[in-house]
A and B are shown apart, each in its own frame.
Chain A
Amino acid sequence: MTPDAAAWDALRLSLWVAVWATVLAIPLALWVAWLLARRDFWGKSLLNAAVHLPLVLPPVVTGYLLLMAFGRNAPLGRALESIGLQLAFHWSGAVLAAMIMGFPLMVRAMRLAIEAVDPKLEEAAASLGASRQSVFGRVTLPLILPGVLAGTVMGFAKAMGEFGATITFVANIPGQTQTLPSAIWSALQIPGGEGQAVVMVLMASAVAVSAVLLSEMLARRVAARIAGT
């Protein structure tokens, strides 16, 4: 049994969407993780709850909320469409859905890595004349880099597997918005489609397992690095 063209299309789209979602989410996730780890401000627990919301909400609810906000008839959706950015029923919407669903996992991993860095090292760097940006770039970031990469891999894996929010927000249009999970689901609806479903399940599993293994490896390195060995 070999993958048919639709399976390859779905894999390609999933990888494309997941890469975009991850790359766009990294800076924001890093900033939010730093805020949660290092700053005290009003509404911190609110931000924390908001970040984690997609983890606890049924994905279909997240998808529905996205549709409410960015649908073609919603004010925000209409505003974006007027500048040429359509999200609903478009692969860019799948990027947004995947970003939101993977975000809590990325923030979590990065926050843990930042919290493992002794703030005294950052104080020492500042005492030597490094500005807050330099301290982050030269001390904090190198020390948390493995954690950032681990969080990125987790976010990527989540983006690859995202189904509920994606299918609700951007539907399941083959070749346009049909990601690998959506394609598997579609194959299972067609009599005799189990064969292709199994092939795509193997594809998805291979990507997911590699992502988790990579993430584990990087997590071990963060510990070793901060211990200074």
Chain B
Amino acid sequence: MTLSLSVSHRFAEFALDITLEAGPGITALFGRSGAGKTTVINAVGGLLRPDAGRIAVDGDVLVDTKRGIFVPPHKRRLGTVFQDARLFPHLNVAQNLMFGARYAPKGSEGPALSDVISLLGLEGLQTRAPATLSGGQKQRVALGRALLSHPRMLLMDEPLASLDGPRKQEILPFLERLRDGPLGLPILYVSHAVDEIARLADRLVLIQNGQIQAQGPLFEVMSNPAAVPLLGVREAGAVIEADVIAHGADGISTLRISAGEIELPGVQAPIGARVRLRVLAQDVILSLTRPEGLSSVNVLPVQIEDIHPGDGPGAAIALRAGTDRLLARVTARAVAELGLSKGTQCFAILKATTVAPGSIGR
């Protein structure tokens, strides 16, 4: 199941012009508010009629302005989860869930009510009225309702944006289960939170002023030095995969990445698990010689792949570390003083605080 989209739409303030494909897994659309993310979701869902373009799911054309095709929202079979859960206030939780199931085509493949209730931890909530639910519970019911309509694809428009930290942590594991589970539903996920995307996305599309600035596999885009200004200098940084190989008695765990082993505190995953690590660019320090006597033990030999000067005093540096790519943010002055250039062999020092517990995934 693959979504192909190419739309342009003119607003008073800017013109949107987007071409993208979203296949299995989670494709995240990231951009600041007003960048055009929600416009894309609304065009796919049928809430917005684009000025020009074509949208298709596999061979099924939903919109083709040239041929005058516009399939109404209720015939698209795309489940949408909105930022506000939009549960029907006159129906209880079970009735809200069954509202989705009512319109699933007869004989269509997809989860049953009991599957959704256990997947999303909704046991015991069935007879509750939406007004009595917490924000996180509402959002889980909204997700279940969408799943029960047996959509070909899920559209999620900032589903966590109106929730506080603990509520977000409550939902994230469910979204991960959905991504890794047997449903294998493609998800188009709009967000302006880098931590959510680093944890969830398989592919990332960066949007600014209605234009795509970068797109590709998450690990590639997150470690692309050109993406630093788009993600924000504080949020930018590579996402890499690591295997948990040991948990120390002192709470420090050892993880293996392609360039070697690193030690991190606060790793919850069991030994043998594969986790995602987010290495913020501003938390990576470069040294030309192997440093001695440091409080951090996470030192990796790396090679400079690319140097991307920013508008300010900083520069983003792409580093090859084993088969992974890391991103470091240093000052332009340091680049000059150390004589850093493409191909330079050096050492990257990762602060052990690099990975917050919340940003360890899987």
Chain A interface (Cβ < 8 Å from any Cβ of B)? 118, 120-121, 123-132, 134-135, 138-139, 142-143, 225-229
Contact = CB atoms under 8 A, between A and B. Distances in A.
B32 interface: no
A132 B102 CA distance: 15
Interface in B182-212: none
A139 B77 contact: no
A228 B99 contact: no
Given A121-B88, A143-B90, A228 B129 contact: yes
Contacts of B15: none
Given A128-B149, A129-B75, A228-B129, 6 more contacts: A123-B73, A124-B86, A127-B47, A129-B74, A228-B89, A229-B131
A123 B179 CA distance: 25
B43 to A, nearest CB: 13
A8 to B, nearest CB: 42
Contacts of A126: 46, 72-74
A203 to B, nearest CB: 37
Contact of B131 (A131, A139, A227): A227
Contacts of A142: 90
Nearest to A226: B89
Given A127-B45, A128-B145, A143 B74 contact: no
B80 interface: yes
Given A128-B99, A129-B103, A227 B89 contact: yes
Contact of A130 (B45, B74, B84, B155): B74
- Top 9 nearest A-B pairs by Cβ distance? A129-B103, A228-B89, A228-B131, A124-B86, A127-B80, A126-B73, A126-B74, A128-B149, A142-B90
A124 B46 CA distance: 11
B82 interface: yes
A139 B88 contact: yes
Given A129-B149, A226-B89, A229-B131, A124 B82 contact: yes
Contacts of B82: 120, 124
B86 A128 contact: no
B36 interface: no
Contacts of A125: 88, 99
A154 to B, nearest CB: 23
Contacts, number: 73
18 contacts: A121-B86, A121-B89, A124-B142, A125-B99, A126-B74, A127-B45, A127-B78, A128-B145, A129-B75, A129-B149, A130-B99, A135-B74, A138-B99, A139-B88, A142-B90, A143-B89, A226-B89, A228-B130
A221 B344 CA distance: 73
B50 interface: no
A131 B73 CA distance: 9
A225 to B, nearest CB: 6
Interface in B125-176: 129-131, 142, 145-146, 149, 155
Nearest to B104: A129
A109 B79 CA distance: 34
A125 B145 CA distance: 10
B100 interface: yes
B139 to A, nearest CB: 13
A138 B47 CA distance: 20
A229 B132 CA distance: 8
B80 to A, nearest CB: 4
B137 to A, nearest CB: 14
Contact of A128 (B46, B47, B100): B100
B103 A130 contact: yes
A229 B80 CA distance: 25
A132 B99 CA distance: 15
A129 B77 CA distance: 7
A223 to B, nearest CB: 12
Contact of A225 (B75, B90, B100): B90
Interface in B40-86: 45-47, 72-75, 77-80, 82, 84, 86
A123 B47 contact: yes
